[in-house]
Structure 1
């Protein structure tokens, strides 16, 4: 298997992994079981992967992690909107 194809498949799978959680939060308007610290650490890590992708000029890393950053920022926005604490 081509290494770029492997990277793209891995990136797609990890990038879409949080979409079911985002959909659930939007439908239920409930973020009680979401950890703010986990979201912040995950967004930070994904952002560093994007930076690394730019440094290495690796499009699969850049695209997949950029998408994952956007999904998780959306979840963070929902967290701030729906957090009842």
Structure 2
């Protein structure tokens, strides 16, 4: 149960930032380096999850990759 709650919080913690970035297109205060590293790390966790067949790891990191990737794309587009 603790792992489930932790996964939900870390996965959906990106949602407020995604909403703000999509609405305002303001990415000035967002670190390109931090989001580049986060997206890469999350992508690698997703690959690891696929390789070991861990469904919760795949789902959490798949969603996180979409959300953090959206922020990174907006950062690159509106930088």
Larger radius of gyration: 1
The normalised TM-score by structure 2 is 0.87
Within the candidate set 71, 76, 79, 1:80 is matched to 76
> What stretches of structure 1 of length at least 5 have no aligned partner?
none
The normalised TM-score by structure 1 is 0.82
2:5: which partner in 1?
9
2:51: which partner in 1?
55
2:24: which partner in 1?
28
Residue 9 of structure 1, CA deviation:
2.8
Question: In angstroms, what is the RMSD of aligned CA positions?
Answer: 1.4
The alignment covers a number of residue pairs equal to 79
